[in-house]
Amino acid sequence: MVLVLSVVSLTAIARLVTPEQTGLFSVAASIVLLAQALRDFGIAEFLVQEKELTSDKIRTAFGLNLLLAWSLGAVIFLLRNWIAEVYQTPELGRLVALGCLSFLVAPFSSTSLALLNRDMDFAALMKISVLSNVIGSIVSVGGAALGGGATALSLGMLASNVTTAVAAGLLLPSWEHLVPSLREWRRLSAFGLFISGTNLANQLGARMPELVLGRLLGFAALGQFNRSRGIVFLFYEVIVSSVNTVAFPALSSAHHEGHDLREPYTRCTTLVSGTVLPVLAVFSLVADPFIRVAFGPNWMEAARMAPLLAIGTGFAVLAPISSQVLSATGQVRPLLRLTLLTQLSLTFFMAAFSFFGLMWLAFGLVLHNIVALVLTAEALRRCIGLQLRQLLRASVPSIGLMIGSTILPTLFLLWRETYDDSPLFTLAGVAVLATMSYLFCACAFRHPVVAEIAVLRRQVSSVFRHWRSRVVVRPE
């Protein structure tokens, strides 16, 4: 559901907002999200992994969230004009000021979401995610249709954050945690210091392209890069964020009970890579017609970068949820060290390649992801005893599934390369052939994803039968 909403929203926004306005919003959002990473202070992770969670600890988590969020929001708001001067764009200051309103509601959502996550109330979390995405998309697309540009996107982000806070509060059984306290601040600070450093480093790495490209190459080039990266990361983020929601509390519980985490981690790697790698490979084949149909001719530079960005993302898929494993086992110092080394690698490759243009930057990100995979594997070896060869072996069935899923689509595209009349027909043909190939190869290779598909099919059938049972058949 979230995936469909995201694709529809991205398509509509790409048609309504220019690359330059998209890049301008990306810079403003990046500044706000960097401060948000510092505001989180590892409080959500603390609430999920804490063995003995008392009322005082919950209230202290809310109190610290309130103090940090409102303080950081005020600081960013006061710096908005200076930020606009750095980028020589007065409109950027107004967008940053609008983004600062998110800090007012952030404390009310983060604590509530962490408690729902700890209780593994995934149904409530899904409802919140879908509702916030729907509201945010409606506001963004509606504002863009009225000519709002980057302002419309900022309002959509704010609407999504407000919706999350309200929905999370309503779905909690009690509002007792909304009484702020600082009684347990020492306990939370000891844990949160390293997690907040990790979160900040992660966000800095994730947002560095926006901050650097917006200044060096301009907002239009940044918009092209973000559109390409956004569509490549879309499916990856939906799958991995869903897994993260389930994995973190489950891994924390397993660790508390003394279980070996290597088997569940390698199984998760096989499932995630078996789902994401084939999609990335197929998308690389049809990036040009897809972006031409979905976004229009203004975004063709994004189509040229997409295959390289998909390759880089593929390396990240080979070691998913690594930060969740380290957090769940309390390895916050190694997690911070891994994050700093990874971001140092990103900084180096960006600095070395971004001056040569967007395509070279995309190639540099592929090299960075290879280095990040090696660093992550070493951290996992130290944390849970998982060797790099075991990690790669877990992805071998998924690599075979990826290759098998692309054979028929590749042959179809070779036949269609002399036809440029209907990119929509090309996309439809590739989608059908890729789906058929994927299902056939998954069954032929006996990939573990088959069991998950069977579970999903039973759930869909159950929902359909329940819907049919409620239909009242009126006599003629």
Per residue in 125-153, pLDDT (tens digit) is: 788 888 888 899 899 999 999 988 889 99
Q: Is 301 helix (H, G, I), strand (E, B) or coil?
A: helix
| Predicted pLDDT of residue 466 | 66
DSSP 286: S
DSSP string, 28-79: HHHHHHHHHHHHHTTHHHHHHH-SS--HHHHHHHHHHHHHHHHHHHHHHHHT
- 352-358: long-range pairs with CB below 8 Å, 24+: 354/212, 354/213, 354/216, 354/217, 355/216, 357/217, 358/217, 358/221, 358/224, 358/225, 358/301, 358/305
Torsion of CA 319, 325, 331, 337, to 10 degrees: 20
Q: Give the model's pLDDT for residue 476.
A: 46
Q: What is the pLDDT of residue 474?
A: 47
CB neighbourhood size of 138 (10 A):
15
In the DSSP assignment, the letter for residue 177 is G
| Angle (deg, nearest 10), helices 449-469 and 262-285 | 80
| Low-confidence stretches of the chain (pLDDT beneath 50) | 472-476
In 3D space, the residue among 205, 224, 251 whose CA is nearest the CA of residue 349 turns out to be 205
The tens digit of pLDDT for each residue in 265-277 reads 888 888 888 888 9
Q: What is the dihedral of CA 260, 261, 265, 266, to 10 degrees?
A: -30
The most distant pair of C-alpha atoms in the chain lies apart, rounded to whole Å, by 75
pLDDT of residue 199: 67
Please give the Cα distance from 327 to 270 (Å, whole number): 21
- Rounded CA gap, 99 and 105, in Å? 11
Contacts of 42 (CB under 8 A, 6+ apart): 188, 191, 192, 193, 194, 195, 196, 198, 199, 332
